Amino acid sequence: MEEHALRRSLSDELHARAFHDFEGAGRFIRYVFLTEAGTDDILAYIDEFLVANDQQPIPEGSKFLRLDLNGFAIRVEQHTEFLSVSFIEKGRKQATGLLGDAFDAANSRLPLAWARGIPAPVFHAIWLEIGGKPPRGINPEKIGAMMQSRAIASNLFSDGAAQLHFAFDIDDAGFSRIAIFNEQISSNRMGRVVQRIVELETYRMLALLGFAAVREHGATLGRIERTVGSLTTDLAAQIRQSHGQVQQLLSVLSAQAADLEEIYAKTSYRLAATKAYEAILMDRIASLQLSRLAGFQGVHGFLGRRMTPALDSCRAFAERLSRLSERITRAGDLLQTQTEMIIQRQNRDLLQSMNARARQQLRLQQTVERLSIAAVTYYGVGLVGYLAKPLPLAAWGWDINLVKAGAVPVIAFLVWLAIRGVRAHINEPESGSDA
């Protein structure tokens, strides 16, 4: 039986990004790179590293790589618009607090110097540490000093079996720090937790890309809104006038519609992606089953105060785009209607002018016809006189003048009949034109 070409790859996709079991203490470090410029240079750089460590290059078309190297594991993941390179170190012993080299980028055994050489701008870097039990006397000040952050969010999770501390800013080494104090979470479950936490932090930053687009294009959108508002007011004034001029308004409206379409083309994908990333972010937060840690602000509260306004701005921007597009469409319809009315008035005036000229021409034609009858009768009577002159009218007892006078009504009637016949022939429809 022949298999579909995508069967194996789609089936393997469900198992590609397996969790790491975190036994004992350890760390998870992730670098995130946006891939709008492509991934060829990044993948070539990674392949060189793998070959130098006696490994095979990344298979062509592969979206996921997981390899165990000398004392650590490396993961390469390709997503729709980003690529991540992660290092995993685990299996170390730590009864209380974090490892002695926690967050020490300068002395790390991981190839961080090599990672900093990846030929792409780092979009985000995450450093997650897993230690033992929470140290005594832990408080926000001590956590802030350890995490080099003033923006700490902390929670209990897994029914108080572990503590989670987020630093939602960037330390001197360029990392956002995350610390977990583990009391009794199993190694396989800790792997799932770590995966969700790292994804939460990754998608938090990706979701904010939409806010960057909003800030970039917000001023332009505001200008278009003001212009369209003023144009609508002018349009209303023009419509109230019987001979309002809307051509200039239509030109301005077309320019605003073009600018709006440009903004939509640049932001529609990003705003849709932000909505999707927000959904993933909320899902990851919910899956952690966080609970309150006394004395600390929680993740929900922190993100609610700091991130929700940015995401609300993205939603508001998308709604503004939609409403403004509808306003421009309605204004365009009004302008089109007004333009059609103006054209109809112009056509009506033109027809009235043509009718007036036709009536004038008819009156002129009638006048000419009357004059023509008189002129032709005059010449006809003269012709009768010439014809009658050789005749012996005196012998017959007729006078030449009486003959000419009697010929006047006859000739005039005949000329009238002839002109009427010509007019009837001209006005007669062509009966054989469709044959």
pLDDT digit string (tens) for 352-392? 888 888 888 878 877 777 777 788 887 887 787 777 777 77
407 token code pair: 């010929």
User: Quick check: 110 pLDDT over 60?
Assistant: yes
Looking at the fold, whether 40 and 178 belong to one and the same domain comes out as yes
In the predicted model, is pLDDT for residue 17 greater than 60? Answer: no
Q: At 12, is the pLDDT very low, low, confident or very high (cuts 50, 70, 90)?
A: low
Based on the fold, state whether residues 166 and 287 are members of the same structural domain.
Answer: no
pLDDT higher than threshold 80 for residue 173: yes
* Gap between the Cα atoms of 94 and 61, Å rounded: 40
Quick: pLDDT tens for 26-57. 999 999 999 988 899 999 999 999 999 999 99
Query: For position 241, what pLDDT does the model report?
Result: 63
The answer to whether residues 18 and 53 belong to one domain is yes
Sign of dihedral through CA atoms 36, 41, 44, 46?
negative
Q: Is there a contact between 234 and 299 (Cβ–Cβ < 8 Å)?
A: no
For residue 407, pLDDT over 60 is answered with: yes
8 Å CB contact between 19 and 188: yes
4 domain residue, yes or no: no
Q: What is the pLDDT of residue 435?
A: 43
pLDDT for the residue numbered 10 = 63
- Residue 110 and residue 137 in one domain: yes
- Which residues touch 138 (CB under 8 Å, ≥6 apart)? 163
94 within a domain of the structure (yes/no): yes
Give the CA distances from residue 275 to residues 165, 209, 235, 320, 386, in Å, rounded to whole numbers and listed in that order: 26, 11, 36, 16, 107
CA distances (Å), origin 276, targets 168, 191, 193, 204, 285: 21, 24, 21, 11, 14
pLDDT band, residue 16 (cuts 50/70/90): low
Q: Give 95 or 432, the one with higher predicted confidence.
A: 95
Q: Is the pLDDT of residue 154 over 80?
A: yes
Q: What is the pLDDT of residue 35?
A: 92
Is 6 a domain residue? no
Select from 181, 202, 223 the last residue of a domain.
Answer: 202
Task: Pick 186 or 16 by higher pLDDT.
Answer: 186
1 assigned to some structural domain: no
The pLDDT of residue 165: 95
pTM of the model: 0.75
pLDDT classification of 393: cutoffs 50, 70, 90: low
Quote the mean pLDDT of the chain: 85
Same domain, 159 and 257: no
Closest CA to 270 of 213, 201, 324: 213
- Place 13 in a pLDDT band, splitting at 50, 70 and 90: low
State the pLDDT confidence band at 8, using cuts at 50, 70 and 90: low
Domain boundary among 349, 370, 386: 349
pLDDT of residue 305 exceeding 90, the answer is: no
Q: Which amino acid is at 60?
A: E
For 167-191, what is the mean pLDDT?
89
Q: Is residue 355 part of a domain?
A: no
pLDDT of residue 244: 56
- 3 assigned to some structural domain: no
Q: Are residues 403 and 326 in the same domain?
A: no
Q: What is the pLDDT of residues 215-238, one digit of tens each?
A: 999 999 999 999 888 888 777 776
φ, ψ for residue 228, nearest 5 deg? -65, -40
Q: Which residue carries 């996921």 as its tokens?
A: 64
Q: Which two tokens stand for residue 39?
A: 């991934």
Instruction: Select from 204, 203, 24 the least CA-distant residue to 129.
Output: 24
Q: Per DSSP, what are the bridge partners of residue 34?
A: 82
Note whether residue 285 is domain-resident: yes
- Look up the domain containing 401 and give its range: 361-426
Q: Identify whether 2 is part of a domain.
A: no
**Statement to judge: residues 62 and 182 lie in one domain:** yes
**Domain count across the chain:** 3
Are 337 and 370 in a shared domain? no
Decide if pLDDT at 75 tops 80.
yes
Query: Do 180 and 156 belong to one domain?
Result: yes
Whether 343 and 237 share a structural domain = yes
Angle between helices 400-427 and 308-388 (to 10 degrees): 150
CB neighbour list of residue 411: distance below 8 Å, 6 or more residues apart: 376, 377, 380, 381, 384
Per-residue confidence at 83, pLDDT binned at 50, 70, 90?
very high
What whole-number distance in Å separates Cα of residue 170 and Cα of residue 151? 10
Looking at per-residue confidence, does 3 or 168 come out higher?
A: 168
CA distance 74 to 373: 113
In this structure, are 297 and 401 located in the same domain? no
Across 259-264, average pLDDT = 92
Q: Distance (Å, rounded) from C-alpha 223 to C-alpha 228?
A: 9
Q: Range with the lowest mean pLDDT among 278-287, 326-335, 371-380?
A: 371-380
**Per-residue tokens: 408:** 């006047």
Pairwise pLDDT comparison (401 vs 269), residue with the higher score:
269
Q: Rounded mean pLDDT of 329-335? A: 81
Instruction: Please state, for a pLDDT cut of 70, what percent of the chain lies above it.
Output: 91
Whose tokens are 């144009």? That residue is 231
Of the candidate ranges 144-158, 247-261, 300-314, 367-381, the one whose mean pLDDT is the lowest: 367-381
What pLDDT does 175 receive? 95
Same structural domain for residues 26 and 51?
yes
